[in-house]
Amino acid sequence: MCRLALKTAREPFSPYDVLTAMEAMQEGYDGSGLGLLLRGMEFEDFRYNPKFPILSGIAESEKAWRRLDSFMEERGYELKYDHKFHMKRAHMNGKDRYRYFVRAYRMPDRFADADQDARETELLKTRLALRRDGEEHGGDLSVFSFWPDVTMIKEVGWPLQVGNTLSLHDGQIKARVCMAQGRQNTNYGINLYACHPFFIQGIATMTNGENTAFVPIRDWLIGRNLPGYIGYQSDSEVFTHILHYTLKHLKLPLQIYKHIITPLNAAELDKHPQGDFLKGLRDACRRLIIDGPNAVIGTLPDETCLLVMDHKKLRPATVGGREGVWAIASEMCGVDAMIPDRDPALDFQPMREHTVIIPPQRKELTVWSQYEQFPLSQAA
Amino acid sequence: MVPIRTIPVEPGSLTYPDLPWIIEHREDRCTLCGHCTTVCPKECLHLAYRRQRMPRLDVLSNKRGSEYRTFTGIRQRTDMAHACIGCGMCAMVCPNEAIMPVPNSVERRTLFFTNQKGEAAKRGGRRNAPGATLLDRIIFDRISMLTDPALDAGRHEFTVTTTIGRILSPEDYLARRLDGGWIPTTREVFPFIIGSMSFGALSPNMWLGLLQGVAYCNEVLGIPVVMCTGEGGCPPWVLKSPYLKYIILQIASGYFGWDEIIRAIPEMQCDPAAIEIKYGQGAKPGDGGLLMWYKVSKLIARLRGVPEGVDLPSPPVHQTLYSIEESVMKMIQTLSMAFGHKVPVYPKISASTSAKAVLNNLVRNPYAGGLLIDGIDGGTGAAYNVSMDATGHPVASNVRECYLDLCAQGMQNELPIYAAGGIGKNGNVAQNGMALIMLGASAVHIGKYIMQATAGCLGNEQNRCNVCNLGICPKGITSQNPKLYRRLDPDQVAERVAETFMTIQTEVKKIMAPLGRSQSLPIGMSDAIGISDKDAADRLQIKYVC
């Protein structure tokens, strides 16, 4: 079972904080992968403007690196900042990567007057084109995210070791939201893209466990023919795509996510104030019902963070913190490591009907129950 | 040349070793009570006088001689009309275990004589192909083991239901909610459905037992089992009862019984579970029903709206069912409309290489609520032997093909595919059904398994019994003769229905639990199954394991 840690704070902090939480929970993973997602970026040597999309990934060779450079240039992107990790290769026991890159770009001029949708689609398509390019060249280029204010790092290895290799403790990179997952490689092969968190258009989730309903869900998502619904080296990637599908394609509120992945049963829906709508939704989205055990932790473009469980609730997850700073982790010791000075009595472990939300203001937790009514015009 | 009949041998003369079943009778145990001869549905047993020579040797006088004893014994008739079918009713009623039919292992010559009176051989039952079926060979091998322990089938909560009826895409559903558009009705049911067996084919007691059992499963056990009527309609009292919601009404090519159904619509308390339109049957593709006069009792005649005691063969294709395209226009829409678009309507076709074409036609029809594909191993009350044994298409590859076709269109499960034909043929009903579900079926229909399990139907894969078409069913399951069907107690059938479905439910959970599935039926979970046959694995696009 993987270990998960997420910290969100008003003041940007070093991702190393979250890696120490991973260290506290170290018995739960095997070094087959670490994924890090940072949102709300701050760089020591650059005044970052959050409207610049950040491209993050790995180039395995100089050739791949040159290809990436010229591709972005041809597409009209202007490089604003290129972060140089202070690499300590002695700590690296896996493959010696040519370059980890975190680069901020200005969008091409043709998007100056474009609406939000067009810009978001362009970012997605650029990331996919780069990913495809890497795959066509023997996997020499991996791109994990291309989105404003978001950086992603993925590597095979133990979390702290990866952090030390990249000198993440040096304070050069900070973020307001950081999520990390130590991967216990299960049924699918070791592959950088298979490391959580998974990312699509600003939406990211990570999971500890196994989604046994993966194959039918994957088949259905692929059948949609929507850009970005590809990959699926991990059974957990569908959680991200279902969240994306719910919010971006169906344009439904966040509360619906839980109703889609783990609908209530018929008897419970009979009593629900929006039971009629939800029953229909359950039928329409029956193919997206997940079968855990899983705890799903995610963040949204507005820095909202969330935690939901599958219906069996056989995976642990705890949320705790205080005003301004909150942490979600798969183990209590992970929360302790990230926010030691909180009141642990106020920690919350969601039940299967709950969605825990940490809103962008980070004042307090919101806990939604599936049994409650929620605002939705369609359900009237 | 004029034949000289010195010995009674004709072209069609047969003797014991020529018959599929040989009666073994132990005279030393027989009390001549006559039970066996009375109960034999084929009247193949008869009492006959026999004479036996008793050699006598007087040692002292050195004389040899013979004595004769005469006794009454049991003989087996060897003409085709009375050939033993191996039902074993004689053994069942014999108080002294003195008699039983034994399968004949030598070549059977009766095959040459099954065309008496110029009629090709007909029988009920299903394809007699003994041995493990392809479904039997599929194993569930994706066991949650590494990071996640298997679930506990006894303690965890499982959702073991499926839907009948058209499922909209999420986008369509939301758009129609906003516009107030029509949203097709769906029914949440148990994925093992009692398949269509005509009211005319089954005896009233059998039918009543099934209905009682289904009602018990729903109302007491909470297992939402539904059953299909098959051609012949449904008794008016059922149509007007609250039990109608557990019934799928079938309209077949003969339209028998539909007058009664249409007449009952204004008085219906609830909607039926669904409407099934039969275009074809896996066991006899291209054939209609073959209900013969001896099964058309007063009740059947009244329900079907025909005179008593006349042959009622349904046409294989009625004029109005001329093509599937036309039927889309006519039948599905008409029937959907007749029930106010509140009842799912789906067609049943026999598995064939053109099933995919039919599927794609239905996918584009908003009123079609599913597609039932019936494979070659399916059963029937009556069919030509050659149809049953050698005509048709196996269901597994057909269902898989159709499911993958829907996946490619991004419409997986929007039009649910139901599978039928040979599920539980060798008794592995839950395993067979779940294998088909993981290949892509939303639910399976089981007919003969239910008869075998709930009423003790004697048919098996060794061409045993299979006289459903003759109205002489020794268990009273498919007979309209009160003397025979009174043998079957509806209450006991109902009890067995409940027991059967409780068991299937447990077995389904026992299959789902180790796969880590509990929240929804694993439809299309093809990563969970494997087969040790490379060709089958390639064809079905599942794992090859050995």
CB-based contact B523 A311, cutoff 8 Å = no
Pairing of strands B443-446, B192-194: parallel
Interface of A with B (CB under 8 A): 1, 184, 186-187, 209-210, 212-216, 219-220, 222-225, 245, 249-250, 252, 262, 265-266, 277, 280-281, 283-287, 289-293, 310-312, 314, 377-379
Asked if the Cβ–Cβ distance from B174 to A252 is below 8 Å, we say yes
Q: Which residues of chain A are within 8 Å of residue B151 when distances are taken between CB atoms? A: 312
pTM reported for the whole predicted model: 0.94
B520/A209 touch (CB, cutoff 8 Å), yes or no: no
3 state SS of A205? strand
Q: Which two tokens stand for residue A70?
A: 């010229």
Q: Using an 8 Å Cβ cutoff, are B287 and B315 in contact?
A: no
Query: ω before B17 within 30° of 0 (cis)?
Result: no
Q: Answer for the pair B225, B190: CB distance below 8 angstroms, yes or no.
A: yes
CA distance B177 to chain A (A): 6
B14 in Cβ contact with B109 (< 8 Å): yes
Let me know: does B110 contact B83? Beta carbons within 8 Å.
yes
At B278 the three-state DSSP class reads strand
Among chain B residues, CA nearest to A183: B147
CA distance to partner chain A, nearest, from residue B241 (Å): 24
CB contacts of A241 in chain B (<8 Å) are none
Q: In Å, how far is B169's CA from the nearest CA of chain A?
A: 6
Q: Per-residue pLDDT tens for B8-46?
A: 788 888 998 899 999 999 988 999 899 999 999 999 998
Question: Which residues from chain A sit within 8 angstroms of residue B526, using beta carbons?
Answer: 215
Q: Which of B147, B412, B518 faces A210 most closely, judged by CB atoms? A: B147
Average confidence (pLDDT) over A233-257:
94
Tabulate helix, strand, coil % of chain A (nearest 5): 35, 30, 40
Q: Which residues of B touch A287 (CB under 8 A)?
A: 412-413
Using the beta-carbon criterion (under 8 Å), do A220 and B147 form an inter-chain contact?
Answer: no
Determine the Cα–Cα distance for residues A253 and B297; give it in Å rounded to an integer. Answer: 61
Q: Which residues of B touch A262 (CB under 8 A)?
A: 519
Cβ neighbours around B5 below 10 Å, total = 8
Looking up tokens 């069609």 gives: B12
Residue range B463-511, pLDDT digits in tens: 889 999 999 999 999 999 999 999 999 999 999 999 999 999 999 999 9
Tell me the two tokens of residue B353.
């290489």
Q: Is the pLDDT of residue B458 over 80?
A: yes
B345 in Cβ contact with B161 (< 8 Å): no
Q: What is the DSSP letter of B450?
A: H
Contact predicate A361/A323, CB 8 Å: no
- Residues sharing a CB contact under 8 Å with residue B96, sequence separation 6 or more, in sequence order: B29, B30, B31
Over residues A228-240, the mean pLDDT reads 92
Q: What is the pLDDT of residue B129?
A: 87
**Which residues of A fall within a CB distance of 8 Å from B522?**
213, 216
Over 70: is that where the pLDDT of B60 sits?
yes
Amino acid at B117: K
In the predicted structure, residue A213 carries a pLDDT above the cut 80:
yes
Across the range B180-206, mean pLDDT stands at 93
The token duo for B229 is: 């009527």
CB contact under 8 A, A223 and B410: yes
Task: Name which of A253, A261, A128 is nearest A200 in CA terms.
Answer: A128
What chain A holds in terms of domains, given with CATH numbers, is: 3-39+171-378 (3.60.20.10), 49-148 (3.30.70)
Cβ–Cβ gap A215/B411 under 8 Å: no
pLDDT score at B10: 85
Collect all residues from B whose CB is shorter than 8 A from any CB in A: 142, 144, 146-148, 151, 156-157, 159, 163, 167-174, 177-178, 183, 186, 188, 407-413, 515-520, 522-528
Could you give the C-alpha distances from A183 to A92, A169, A194, in angstroms and in order?
A: 17, 21, 9
Tracing tokens 């610049």 back to the chain, one arrives at A52
The answer, yes or no, to whether residue A95 has pLDDT greater than 80, is: no
Mean pLDDT of A141-168: 93
pLDDT, mean of residues B298-320? 84
Q: What percent of chain A has pLDDT over 70?
A: 97
**Phi, psi at residue A221, to the nearest 5°?**
-65, -40
ipTM over 0.90: yes
Yes or no, beta carbons of A220 and B410 under 8 Å apart: yes
Q: What does the pLDDT read at residue B461?
A: 80
Under 8 Å between Cβ of B435 and B134: no
> Does residue B155 surpass a pLDDT of 90?
no
Q: Do residue A291 and residue B168 have CB atoms under 8 angstroms apart?
A: no
Residue B108 has pLDDT above 80, yes or no: no
| Cα–Cα distance measured from residue B334 to residue B339, given in angstroms and rounded to the nearest whole number | 9
Backbone angles phi, psi at B12, to 5 degrees: -95, 15
Residue of B nearest to A249 (CA): B171
User: Which chain A residues are closer than 8 Å to B142 by Cβ?
Assistant: 212
Residue-wise pLDDT for A157-174, tens only, equals 889 999 999 999 999 999
Q: Which residue of A has its CA nearest to B522?
A: A213
Q: What 3-state class would DSSP assign to A351? A: coil
Using a CB-CB cut-off of 8 Å, the residues of chain B touching A244 are: none
What confidence tens digit (pLDDT) does each residue in A322-366 have? 999 999 999 999 999 999 999 999 999 999 999 999 999 999 999
- The pLDDT of residue B291 is 87
* Confidence band of A380 (pLDDT split at 50, 70, 90): very low
Helical axes B429-439 vs B490-512, angle rounded to 10° = 50
Instruction: List the one residue out of A159, A169, A26, A182 whose CA is nearest residue A85.
Output: A169
Over chain B, what is the mean pLDDT? 91
| Local structure of residue A133 (DSSP, 8 states) | H
Closest C-alpha to B373, from B344, B404, B396: B396
Q: At what angle do helices B204-216 and B490-512 cross, to 10 degrees?
A: 50
Residue B58: the pLDDT is 83
For residue B345, the one-letter residue type is: V
User: pLDDT (tens digit, 9 = 90+) per residue, B216-227?
Assistant: 999 999 999 999
Local structure of B277: helix, strand or coil: strand
Closest CA to B284 of B139, B387, B405, B424: B387
Q: CB–CB of A287 and B413 under 8 A?
A: yes
**Distance in angstroms (rounded) separating the CA atoms of residues A8 and A320:** 11
pLDDT greater than 80 at residue B3: no
Q: Distance from CA of residue A157 to its chain's centroid?
A: 19
How many beta-carbon pairs below 8 A join chains A and B?
Answer: 113
Helix (H), strand (E) at residue B455: helix B448-455
Contact assessment for residue B208 and residue B227, using Cβ atoms and an 8 Å cutoff: no
Nearest to A289 among B144, B172, B519 (CB): B519
Tokens of B17: 């070793």
- Strand, helix or coil at B168? coil
Closest-approach residue (CA) in chain A for B222: A267
Mutation to test the B interface, candidates A187, A219, A264, most B Cβ within 10 Å:
A219
Distance from CA of B185 to the nearest CA of A (A): 9
Adjacent-strand bridge partners of A309 = A295
Closest CB to B174 among A250, A287, A290? A250
Give me the pLDDT at residue B254, please: 86
Nearest CA to CA, how far is A293 from chain B (Å)?
7
Q: Which of A219, A291, A312 sits opposite B524 (nearest CB)?
A: A219
Nearest-by-Cβ selection for B183 from A216, A280, A312 = A280
Q: Do B146 and A187 touch (CB under 8 A)?
A: yes
For residue B236, say if its preceding peptide bond is cis, omega within 30 degrees of 0.
no
Segments of B127-179 assigned E as strands: 139-140, 162-164
Q: Tell me the residue type at A66.
A: R
Contact B148 A1 (CB under 8 A): yes
Alpha-carbon span A359 to A305, nearest angstrom? 7
Nearest chain A alpha carbon to B169: A284
User: Which of B172, B173, B218, B409 to probe the A interface (max A CBs under 10 A)?
Assistant: B173
Running DSSP on this structure, what letter comes out for residue B151?
P
Which of B188, B518, B527 faces A291 most closely, judged by CB atoms? B518
Q: Are A109 and A116 in contact (CB under 8 A)?
A: no
Instruction: Decide if B189 contacts B418 (C-beta within 8 A).
Output: no
> Which runs of E-coded beta strand occur in B410-479?
417-420, 443-446
Q: Is the peptide bond before B313 cis (omega within 30 degrees of 0)?
A: no
In this structure, the number of other CB atoms found within 10 A of the CB of residue B154 comes to: 9
CB A56 within 8 A of CB A152: yes
Most A-contacting residue of B158, B171, B174 (CB-CB within 10 A), to test interface:
B174
**Cβ-based neighbour number of residue B301 at 10 Å:** 17
Most confident segment among B146-155, B186-195, B310-319: B186-195
Are the beta carbons of B171 and A216 separated by less than 8 Å?
A: no
DSSP lists the bridge partners of residue B163 as B188
**DSSP state string for B188-218:** EE-SEEE----TTTS-HHHHHHHHHHHHHII
Query: Could you tell me if A46 and A128 are in contact, meaning their C-beta atoms sit under 8 angstroms apart?
Result: no
Tell me what the mean pLDDT of segment B522-535 comes to.
Answer: 96
- The first and second tokens of residue B299, run together, are 């009740």
- Put simply, the answer to whether B156 touches A289 (Cβ < 8 Å) is no
Q: What are phi and psi of A276, to 5 degrees?
A: -65, -45
Q: Which two tokens stand for residue A120?
A: 């978001």
pLDDT at position A378 over 60: no
* Pairwise CA distance, residues B394 & B383, whole Å: 17
A276 neighbors A325 (Cβ within 8 angstroms): no
* H helix or E strand, kind and range, residue B511: helix B490-512
